[in-house]
Chains A and B, each alone.
Chain A
Amino acid sequence: MTLLSLTGIESGPWITLLDGELPSEGDSIAVPIARLLEEGVSAFATAGALGAAVPTGTSFAELEEVVRSLTFVAIEFSAFGDGRGFSLAVRLRKDMGFKGEIRAVGPVMPDQAQFLLRSGFDSVEITDESRVGAFRVSLERFNEFYQTDYMGARSIAHARHGISQ
């Protein structure tokens, strides 16, 4: 498995907690969101860095309850076609002002790299290492976009009229 940074921000691995498992003190841990909501953030106070493992079907309202205590979020795609993950990342950035790392986990395709980046993801967990090259190529593919991205960066429509914000 390879961790690919989309934004250039380097980050380390973390441990995804299994059911019933408790973190060792100081570990970076991703807790399944259901467990985090059930046990509360304080149950994991000993963690070095606390993150949430969030299936794409999670509603943003649930995420909003705990987001302030998180340093990272792993959005777990069930399939590459499950576009809810993109909206979740956008929500985290736009609505909740989340500044921590957002990582895509699961069967995303190299060809989705720029969509991930532009929706607010920082990194991708790539299971098939032979695909890292394709991810990198895809990430550099387009350099101008018709839409503003999640941070409101200028779009082609603005560039046409010399508007930068």
Chain B
Amino acid sequence: MYAYDKFDRSLVDIRVAEFRDQVERRVKGDLTEEEFRPIRLMNGLYLQLHAYMLRVAVPYGTMSGDQMRRLAHIARKYDKGYGHFTTRQNIQFNWPKLSETPDILAELADVEMHAIQTSGNCIRNVTSDQFAGATADEIADPRPYAELLRQWSSFHPEFSFLPRKFKFAITGADQDRAAVKWHDIGLIVRKNDAGEIGFEVIVGGGMGRTPVIGKTIREFLPEKDFLSYQEAILRVYNEQGRRDNKYKARIKILVEAMGAEEFARQVEVEWEKIKDSHIDVPQEEVARIQAFFQPPELANQDATSAVTSEFAKKNFIFASWLQNNTNAHKVQGYVNITISLKPHGGIPGDASAEQMDLVAALSDEYSQSEIRVSHEQNLILPHVALKDLPAIWADLDEAGLGTANVGLLTDMIVCPGLDYCALANARSIPIAQAITKRFDDMKRLQDIGPIKVKMSGCINACGHHHAGHIGILGVDRKGQEMYQLLLGGSGAEDATKAAILGPGFDEHGIVDALEKVVAVYLGVREDGEEFLSTYRRIGAQVFKEAVYDAA
């Protein structure tokens, strides 16, 4: 994991002092709310539906056990005993006081965390593959590059007042677990024929009211030019991105209007002027950061574990958990565990302070004090020995964290919706709870197999409904909460926009409709065929008939 040196530490400390000063000036009236708003947003502080909300960055989704413990402490001391993990690999606290926020930020700085640029019209927290550095299907660990981006983008003098927010995602694996094509800039680590590291650069993806899948503007960007090329993209966007209409201000609109080729051309022209300057860091600095992400030294283990296999034979839930919630590590005898934050009937992505403390303790004992957050709102313990799984699962299960549903229907991405969010049109959490109760049967879920359900409480699409195999979108129809059903989206390497199936439903109807869609799939699937493949094979019509004609 990256560790702060005196420079990093000094910057976050000064930032806390700065915000303390800004809060005082706001309270005294020296700063207007209009001026204070972007300042507090760039420090992660929103004014939400009920109260302030603080969004804390978990850079590229990696944190330590000590950092998780500090989050638990903050939840207890300054909030109401819980936090909410988000699709941007961040954590949100829903009830902080403005006057206490500088103290919270100081507590975070103390464990090398911050809330810098987790909101505002600036470059946001960089997201990445939750299994980075621990997965078998990886060209290189993307996190050193994410850290380079974090540093370059923090307090950038030119790019702190962009037309709109700006989100990077980076992956180093073949399988895209970071939804890179749905980001303002998506980066995929590539190797050229000479075996050198570089990046495919994808620009102009995004969800919201205008879903767009990003376009590749460069197949291979050499590692040494990494930052200067991003700077060229940002300059073109900062100058030409629309500022007259916030719904048309994201880079995706600019790239669509200009055409990806013309956009790429302008970026190249700009880049020619600035490449080989000092925007790119010296090679020693890349090496310094990479050294923090060396794979941990893991003791030799057998490829199988008798104790784990035996326990799985006796316990069906554990057997399901073993199948669904673990994935292959690059070292034999080890796995990465995904801890589901989607208990049936619970609030997706929420974790109590006690649960956070438990995960921290488990990470100390079993996963090198390392924890990850996934964009699918789950927690990960990487580098875990296969033989330790029964003990870990027992502890998790006792704390309500043993749900074996990762990758299955009830492992939904769900935004906070109208229960917490000032922008939402409809509640999403109660719908998620109704769905997980309807499908509260592991054998049935297992039979349905891998399927990604994603739900947003409004058109801003924080719940990634455009990228769901099944998407649900909450809308406001004359003061009534209604829900639209979308099918066929993907957030993975085969990124696809989901399509609306037909008219919307009320809160009960949407659950029935989802169940009918699943029934159609189960009826027509071929041997071993997953939901998305079936949908792509047979199209929307059969689903449409089943959902609407019978009603």
Contact = CB atoms under 8 A, between A and B. Distances in A.
Q: Do chains A and B touch in the complex (CB under 8 A)?
A: yes
A24 interface: no
Interface string B263-276: 00000000001100
Contacts of A115: 155, 157-158, 160
Contacts of A145: 155, 157
Contacts, number: 111
Interface stretch (A7-15, A37-45, A84-92): A84-92
Interface size class of A (residues with CB under 8 A): 35 or more
Contacts of B279: 147-148
A83 B162 contact: yes
A80 B151 contact: no
Interface string B5-37: 101001100100010011001000011000100
A157 B31 CA distance: 34
Contact of B157 (A59, A80, A149, A154): A149
Contacts of B25: 134
Contact of A90 (B21, B235, B285): B235
B154 interface: yes
Interface in A64-89: 80-84, 86-88
B278 interface: yes
B159 A83 contact: yes
Contacts of A62: none
A137 interface: yes
A155 B281 contact: yes
Given A115-B160, A137-B21, A157 B35 contact: no
A147 B151 CA distance: 8
A119 interface: yes
Interface core residue of A83, A142, A156 (most chain B CB under 10 Å)? A83
Contact of A114 (B30, B35, B157): B157
Nearest to B156: A147
B245 interface: no
B7 A156 contact: yes
Contact of B274 (A60, A94, A155, A156): A94
Contacts of B5: 160
A129 interface: no
Contact of B238 (A80, A87, A159): A87
B7 A94 contact: no
A25 interface: no
A14 B216 CA distance: 48
A95 B270 CA distance: 10
Nearest to B277: A152
B239 interface: yes
Nearest to A90: B158
Interface in A86-109: 86-88, 90, 94-95, 109
B282 A157 contact: yes
Interface of A: 59-60, 80-84, 86-88, 90, 94-95, 109, 111-112, 114-119, 130-131, 134, 137, 141-142, 144-149, 152, 154-161, 163, 165
19 contacts: A59-B239, A82-B243, A83-B238, A84-B239, A86-B158, A86-B159, A86-B161, A87-B158, A87-B235, A90-B235, A109-B39, A114-B157, A115-B155, A144-B10, A146-B151, A146-B156, A158-B278, A158-B281, A160-B7
Interface of B: 5, 7, 10-11, 14, 18, 21-22, 25, 30-31, 35, 38-39, 121, 151-152, 154-163, 235, 238-239, 243, 273-274, 277-279, 281-282, 284-285, 288
Given A115-B158, A142-B11, 12 more contacts: A81-B38, A82-B243, A83-B160, A83-B162, A84-B243, A86-B238, A87-B235, A94-B273, A109-B35, A144-B7, A154-B278, A160-B5
Q: Which 6 A-B pairs have the closest CB atoms?
A: A83-B161, A157-B281, A118-B157, A115-B157, A146-B151, A148-B278
